[in-house]
Structure 1
Amino acid sequence: MEPASLALFAAVLTLGAASPGPAVVALVARTLARGRAGSFAFILGLATGDIAWLAAAALGLAALAAALGSLFVIVRLAGAGYLAYMAYRLWTAPAAAPEATAPPARQSAFGLYGAGLALTLSNPKTMAFYLALLPTLMDLDTLSMVGFGEMSGIILVVLPLVFAAYVQLADRARRFIASRRAMRALNRVCGVALAGAAVSVATK
């Protein structure tokens, strides 16, 4: 692809990834509650979902996605269910301050990857970007395998960088929490935010 087209894609993708949405809310809330452990697998799942939507846009599957409405509803509800589960876990989490708690139970990398993938596939914002907005920015009908690889490479660079910045900021904020009351309040605020994101994903 032309360098200008790739630069435009990278710029728009960066802005889209940086704007708060269900993925950012889930990532920040998870980091505030559990620290950075497992964030890479979750982010990789999010990026893989973006590549899947890019492939759908490149293959002209917008109409197919609309036709498979019932299947998409299942995926969307799965993503909303994961957010609701995280909201419940945060709301009911122990109120101990971070430095006083034992290390949280480890989640499998595969499970976190799958959660990130499901969340992106069910995210209306991501679907709209690739199926509706991206074709207006560039001619996807002429996209070659090389061009697809280049755009996928940009996704695998841009998204981890943007999301890693959110993880770093959330982890630093987590370290300033010094009381049980503050931790309980933070858990519940994040739980409410995740519940809101779950409703948003489920009803779009």
Structure 2
Amino acid sequence: MSMHLWCLYVTAVFLISATPGPNMLHVMAQSIHHGPRKAMATMAGLMSAVLLCLIASAFGLGAVLEASPRLFDVLRYAGVAYLIWLGIKAWRAPVSAGDMDDDGPHRSGWALYGAGLLTGLSNPKLIIFAAALFPQFIDTRAAFAPQLSILVISFVVIESFWYGVYALGGLRLAGWLKGQSRQKMFNRLTGALFIGFGGALLGARA
């Protein structure tokens, strides 16, 4: 892979990862409710999902899903259901009299990791995305494995950077969300966005 191709890839992934989506919203919400330190478990779960999808795509699962619409639909509907469930849960989340991370429910790191993993896996389109993106930057005249490693590592580094940005954004919002009315507004906005993401995923073509 040439340096020019790698720079194009990094630019594309940087812009795509910056776009608000279920993963970034989940990081921000968990940072607000539990603090950036505990949100790192959420980030680890999301990143595990990203790595699983990227590796699965590299081994041809993307082509399998494209060739099997029924299998893709099963994964897609499961993802939609999970995102909508997250939305309903966020919409109905109780508010507290003090800081959200002080009086809110205290979840274990493993629980936060599991929720992040399921959120990341709720969008099987990541596999199709990787299957469509990677070939554009692979030089067929060079060894495949080293190039794939560079692409995956670059993706992980960039995605992790944006997770940190959104987590710090959640930390800044936490001070503003001390009032119960603002907490309720944030919970309902977060819930509506998750439900919206689920609806968008349902309406998207495989």
Quick one: structure 1 residues 42 and 68, their matched pair in 2 at CA, closer, same or farther if it must change by over 3 Å?
farther
Aligned partner of 2:162 in structure 1 is 162
Is 1:32 matched up with 2:36?
no
Q: Displacement, 1:140?
A: 6.4
Q: Displacement, 1:103?
A: 4.6
Aligned partner of 1:196 in structure 2 is 196
Whole-angstrom distance in 2 between the partners of 1:114 and 1:77: 19
| Partner amino acid, structure 2, of 1:6 | W
Percent sequence identity over matched residues? Answer: 27
Aligned partner of 1:74 in structure 2 is 74
Residue pair 1:75, 1:118 contacting (<8 A) in 2 also: no
Quick one: structure 1 residues 140 and 123, their matched pair in 2 at CA, closer, same or farther if it must change by over 3 Å?
farther
Q: CA RMSD in A?
A: 2.8
Whole-angstrom distance in 1 between the partners of 2:161 and 2:69: 33
Residue pair 1:80, 1:202 contacting (<8 A) in 2 also: yes
Q: Displacement, 1:13?
A: 1.1
- TM-score normalised to the size of structure 2? 0.80
Quick one: structure 1 residues 60 and 92, their matched pair in 2 at CA, closer, same or farther if it must change by over 3 Å?
closer
Residue pair 2:6, 2:137 contacting (<8 A) in 1 also: no
Aligned partner of 1:105 in structure 2 is 106
Residue pair 1:46, 1:117 contacting (<8 A) in 2 also: yes
Secondary structure of 1:202's aligned partner: helix
Q: Deviations over 1:7-30 (max 9, x none)?
A: 322221111110112222232233
Q: Displacement, 1:57?
A: 4.3
Quick one: structure 1 residues 92 and 60, their matched pair in 2 at CA, closer, same or farther if it must change by over 3 Å?
closer
Quick one: structure 1 residues 30 and 131, their matched pair in 2 at CA, closer, same or farther if it must change by over 3 Å?
same
- Unaligned 5+ runs, structure 2: none
Whole-angstrom distance in 1 between the partners of 2:97 and 2:7: 43
Quick one: structure 1 residues 133 and 73, their matched pair in 2 at CA, closer, same or farther if it must change by over 3 Å?
same
The aligned length equals: 203
Whole-angstrom distance in 2 between the partners of 1:69 and 1:38: 38
Q: Displacement, 1:5?
A: 2.8
Q: Displacement, 1:193?
A: 1.0
- TM-score normalised to the size of structure 1? 0.81
Aligned partner of 2:174 in structure 1 is 174
Secondary structure of 2:96's aligned partner: coil
Q: Displacement, 1:125?
A: 5.5
Is 1:45 matched up with 2:6?
no
